[in-house]
Amino acid sequence: MSRPHAPHARFFRARHLLTPLLLVLALSACAPAPVHNPIAQWVPSPNFDARRPVLIVIHFTNEHSAEQALHTLRTANSGGPVSSHYLVGNDGRIYQLVADSERAWHAGAGHWGTITDVNSASIGIELDNDGDSPFTQVQIDSLLRLLADLTDRFRIPRTQIIGHEDLAPGRKDDPGPRFPWQQLAQAGFGLWPRVALVDPPPGFDPWSALGLIGYPLDDRSATVRSFHHHFRGMDGDTLDDQDLRILFALSRQLGATGGTTPSGG
């Protein structure tokens, strides 16, 4: 380049160097500042970390396509606005709608063990399913990949994976009796009997066992229906002998590990 144009060259080089810096400053100005209580003196400590979810809740969308579900999860609908952290399509595609660190509106009223504000303590995963059709294998494969990622990153116990109906019996019925909980258990996810099923001893209390697992006991018939969906793949609201064997096995497992429902927060 000829000498008379050198000042212009220096200008363009300087502008080129300044552009990324200005972009960083602009983004910093847009980033939300930490919220400090105005009535207290801010004396920051480095001894903290982000709140971690301790539970994963699986749902079905009860809609007819991933596109329809994505619309519902991103807008206000007749029941009010809802969301989830993830949606897994029946083709196996994984969508994320809410950051893992944020509180999605997926669980609603209900509780699991000592966790009473489930939204604040959990990650919600919706599965593209109309509630009547079988779940596709490619969808379950993607779910297993997602569960491995989430449990590893957030150190969520792999037993702490439940269905929406487990925490809200009678109010919700998803993911329903068609969901393959046993397949998840074979991959290492969810609570499932790992010992031989035997008759419980005299005096065994199945309701205490259901409460130990985490189930609400406000409506016992509804709780049994949710338990049947999860562990038997069937309907019915009355406990039978096989239920007692399953509950005895689960209570023995939980007794050996000190329980399965840490408090939220």
pLDDT per residue over 121-173, tens digit each?
999 999 999 999 999 999 999 999 999 999 999 999 999 999 999 999 999 99
Q: Please tell me which residue in 63, 67, 102, 126 is annotated as part of the active site.
A: 126
DSSP 193-259: --S---PPPTT--HHHHHHHHT---SSHHHHHHHHHHHHTSS--SS--HHHHHHHHHHHHHHHHHT-
Cα-based distances in Å from 56 to 28, 108, 201, 244:
33, 14, 33, 26
Q: Identify the CATH homologous superfamily for domain 55-186.
A: Peptidoglycan recognition protein-like (3.40.80.10)
Q: Indicate the pTM of the whole model.
A: 0.83
Three-point CA angle 120, 126, 128, nearest 5°: 170
Residue ranges with strand state E in 89-145: 94-96, 122-127
Q: Is 227 in contact with 211 (CB distance < 8 Å)?
A: no
Amino acid at 7: P
pLDDT at 256: 58
Looking at per-residue pLDDT, the higher value among 204 and 48 belongs to 204
Looking at per-residue pLDDT, the higher value among 238 and 42 belongs to 238
165 in catalytic set: no
- 9-23, 99-113, 137-151, 191-205: segment of lowest average pLDDT: 9-23
Query: 141 exposed, middle or buried (CB, 10 Å; 0-12, 13-18, 19+)?
Result: middle
Residues 6+ apart with CB under 8 A from 111: 118, 167, 216
Q: Where are the domains of the chain?
A: 55-186
